[in-house]
Amino acid sequence: MSASLPRVAIVGATGAVGTELIACLQQRRFAVRDLKLFASERSSGKRLAFAGQSLPVQPLAEDAFNGVDIALFSAGATRSRRYAPLAVRAGATVIDNSSAFRMDSAVPLVVPEVNPDRIAENRGIIANPNCVAIIAVVALWPLHRQFGIRRVIAATYQAASGAGAAAMEELRDATRASLAGERFEPRVLQHPYAFNLFSHDTAVDAVTGSNEEETKVGRELRKIMCAPELRVSITCIRVPVLRAHAIALNVEFEREVSPEAAREQLRAAEGVRIVDHVERNHFPMPLEASGQGDVLVGRIRRDSSDPSGHSLSLFVAGDQLLKGAALNAVQIAERLPPSGIAPR
């Protein structure tokens, strides 16, 4: 392959997102000089398929990034904090899927449909936002750009995949046990998952009452849309769904907005597919969002509780592993300058 093609590394290659990163690179024919796969000791020795080759999974080491142009990190905030600066020092541009650097003012937080121009401002690290923030912002941005959003009230329906591959397996195993009338002891999540739902498993702040997920989504939406005044209230709930998140959104605008005007903006928006078939009762569903790059948007209607006509309600669904994580990261990588080296 050409020497001008980037050398890419994936950190967390065997995880739920890592697996999708490899798949996205292949499906989108992202041309690489070579691909290095890193994971925890537990996975080393494994081999994964990429572009007709079988690549070894290596344990992460301090010198792992020598010669790497683009490093896609998806191995948790602790590993990102330790290894991402090493990757940058070795000359790589890091696209980090963890929360480690998202709110760092020197780090662009990018959803390519929203703020692609920020990519060029990176000083070595570009942060991939929280999955709920990405899925919500793909639907909110075309509306914010046109009408100005003042306030968002959201309730999420979050899939197991957001807690990783082990949580997806736990949902399947717990459900299988429940159907068989057998006992099942949760291993990954704190609460029984079969035919059940629960408040997001991150810690709740004793003062604000928000959990970490909710806090992340609010501040990330503000940063991505460059909307510091945006007010966000969100309730994050984990539901027994495998890999796509849904969100009920109630949106208040600076002025009166009709559902038709909103629909027109959304229809023209990149990354959005309108699924709003009233006559067939067919609206965004996680099962149909799964495996799709687009965010599905429907139930677009006036908010019946706001007589001023400034508010709309909508319901969205997006693949947590794709647009909510791996796909968004690869879309960022696609926009990096040749060799992945952004100007420093």
The residue (of 20 and 113) whose beta carbon lies closer to a second copy is 20
CA 80 – CA 97 distance, rounded (Å): 9
Determine if residue 128 is left, alpha or beta; phi over 0 gives left, psi from -120 to 50 gives alpha, anything else beta: beta
Q: Is 131 a catalytic residue?
A: yes
Query: Quick check: 177 binds a second copy (CB under 8 A)?
Result: no
Would you say how long the chain is, in residues? 344
335, burial (CB in 10 Å: exposed 0-12, middle 13-18, buried 19+): middle
Torsion of CA 318, 319, 323, 329, to 10 degrees: 150
- The C-alpha angle 231, 237, 241, rounded to 5 degrees, equals 130
Query: Quick check: 263 binds a second copy (CB under 8 A)?
Result: no
CA 242 – CA 237 distance, rounded (Å): 14
Query: Quick check: 16 binds a second copy (CB under 8 A)?
Result: no
Query: Quick check: 338 binds a second copy (CB under 8 A)?
Result: no
* Residue span binding a second copy (CB under 8 A) among the ranges 38-46, 63-71, 90-98, 230-238: 230-238
The residue (of 4 and 208) whose beta carbon lies closer to a second copy is 208
Return the residue of 44, 58, 146, 199 that touches a second copy, per CB under 8 A.
199
The residue (of 3 and 206) whose beta carbon lies closer to a second copy is 206
Least distance in Å: CB of 297 to a second copy? 12
| C-alpha dist (Å) from residue 30 to 6, 20, 118, 329 | 10, 13, 21, 12
Query: Quick check: 196 binds a second copy (CB under 8 A)?
Result: yes
* Residue span binding a second copy (CB under 8 A) among the ranges 7-15, 31-39, 62-70, 206-214: 206-214
Q: Which of 24, 131, 144, 236 is labelled catalytic? A: 131
The residue (of 3 and 180) whose beta carbon lies closer to a second copy is 180
Return the residue of 120, 197, 226, 268 that touches a second copy, per CB under 8 A.
197
Q: Are 32 and 8 in contact (CB under 8 A)?
A: yes
Least distance in Å: CB of 313 to a second copy? 6
Q: Where are the alpha helices (DSSP H) in 99-209?
A: 131-147, 165-179
Q: What are phi and psi of 26, to 5 degrees?
A: -70, -50
Query: Quick check: 184 binds a second copy (CB under 8 A)?
Result: no
Q: Which of 144, 200, 245, 310 is labelled catalytic? A: 245
Least distance in Å: CB of 139 to a second copy? 14
Amino acid at 36: K
Site string for a second copy, 297-316 (x = CB under 8 A): -xxxxxxxxxx---x-x-x-
Provide the 8-state DSSP code for 205. P
Amino acid at 283: F
**3-state secondary structure at position 20:** helix
Q: Is 245 a catalytic residue?
A: yes
Query: Quick check: 259 binds a second copy (CB under 8 A)?
Result: yes
The residue (of 63 and 182) whose beta carbon lies closer to a second copy is 182
Residue 257 has, within 13 A of its CA and on its CB side, a CA count of: 29
Query: Quick check: 21 binds a second copy (CB under 8 A)?
Result: no
Instruction: Return the H-helix or E-strand segment holding 264.
Output: helix 259-268
Active site residues: 131, 245
| Interface residue list for a second copy (CB under 8 A) | 151-153, 155, 157, 171-172, 175-176, 179, 190-192, 195-199, 201, 203-204, 206, 208-211, 218, 231-233, 235, 237, 239-242, 246, 248, 250, 259, 278, 281-283, 285-287, 298-307, 311, 313, 315
